[in-house]
Structure 1
Amino acid sequence: MVIGVRAVRKVSSTRGFALVAPHVIPALDRAVHRLTRGKALLSALMLPGVILTATGARSGLSRRTPLACMPEEGGRGWILVGSNFGRTDHPAWTANLLAHPDAEISRKGEDIPVTAHLLQGEERDAAWKAVLAFWPPYATYQARVDREIRLFRLVRR
């Protein structure tokens, strides 16, 4: 399994992955999530994941987005990384959370109401170090873009 993780880390750092993954991985995750009645995500074989349900920043409509997450120690919450696979723009779900921080995640079959907090300053720096230890390809994504990748801490409401 360690070889598999290393291979996935290497592949996920490539520009080709950044072009293809945003179109393929979320669709597969939504299908697996639906088929397992919320108990599994395909991408969670490599990283923990959630389905984020947030209110659209402009539309006001409910938006469901499969995302990798980093569970925090002690059950404190979850960190979401707005890497957008190293693409130039912030992912839409980050704007949704900025506009409407109360959201919901589906994780392992449980629906959990959460509030999102954009991390900044020292709090972001500490979380970023933890995120890089958790999944090193995020460093490649950050190096590829001029924007600062947004980090959100989700806590139970």
Structure 2
Amino acid sequence: MSELDDSPTAWVARHIREYAESDGERGHRKWGVNTLLFTVRGRATGKLRRTALIYGTDGPGRYVVVGSNGGLATHPAWYLNLLANPQVGVQVGPESLPARAAEATGADRERLWRMMAELWPQYDAYQDKLDRRIPVTVLERTSA
């Protein structure tokens, strides 16, 4: 079994621990929005990396996340990792499932961006101050 590393950011690691230890009972709803746990294999280390992300839904088994990195100028590590390893793990509340990650593009990206910015208006403020285009990623449930 691979080693699992949680986010090195202390407040995110606390959120992950709360979420995982309660099987999603605590931490799924945070800051007035729904969050999920996202696990991806590191592109350099091969270790499993886990973080917590705000999500929206786009139909059954389709979860949408945004690579805002809190408005920083660089993409988040989880996003760079999924580009190399799109097979990911997702925990939504008590349910854990395998998923495939794919970046949304074109009109689909714009539609999903609007949906996510309605859930978390800070995304628009982040995008306004950045030179990079913040990625929108769809995590779609797979059979394994």
Smaller-chain TM-score bracket: 0.7 to 0.9
Q: Which has the higher helix share?
A: 1
Q: Which residue of 1 aligns with 2:118?
A: 133
- Alignment equivalent of 2:26, drawn from 40, 47, 60: 40
How has the CA–CA distance of structure 1 residues 109 and 42 changed in structure 2, closer, same or farther, with 3 Å as cutoff? Answer: closer
For 1:47, give the aligned amino acid: V
4+ residue segments displaced more than 6 Å: none
Q: Deviations over 1:97-120 (max 9, x none)?
A: 111111111111111110011111
**Structure 2 segments unaligned to the other structure (5+ residues):** 1-7
In 1, the alpha carbon distance for the partners of 2:71 and 2:24 equals 27
Residues 42-68 of structure 1 deviation map (CA, whole Å, 9 limit, x = unaligned):
663521111101111111111111111
Cross-structure match for 2:99: 114
TM-score normalised by length of structure 2 = 0.85
Matched residue SS, 2:64: strand
The aligned residue for residue 134 of structure 2 is 149
CA distance in 1, matches of 2:92, 2:116: 19
Q: Does 1:29 align with 2:15?
A: yes
Q: Alignment partner for residue 75 of structure 2, among 86, 90, 93?
A: 90
Secondary structure, counterpart of 1:75 in structure 2: coil
Q: CA RMSD in A?
A: 1.8
Unaligned runs of 5+ in 1: 1-21
Distance in 1 of aligned mates of 2:110 and 2:56: 15
In proportion to residue count, which structure has more strand?
A: 2
Amino acid aligned to 1:95 = L
Q: Structure 1 residue aligned with 2:38, among 32, 35, 52?
A: 52
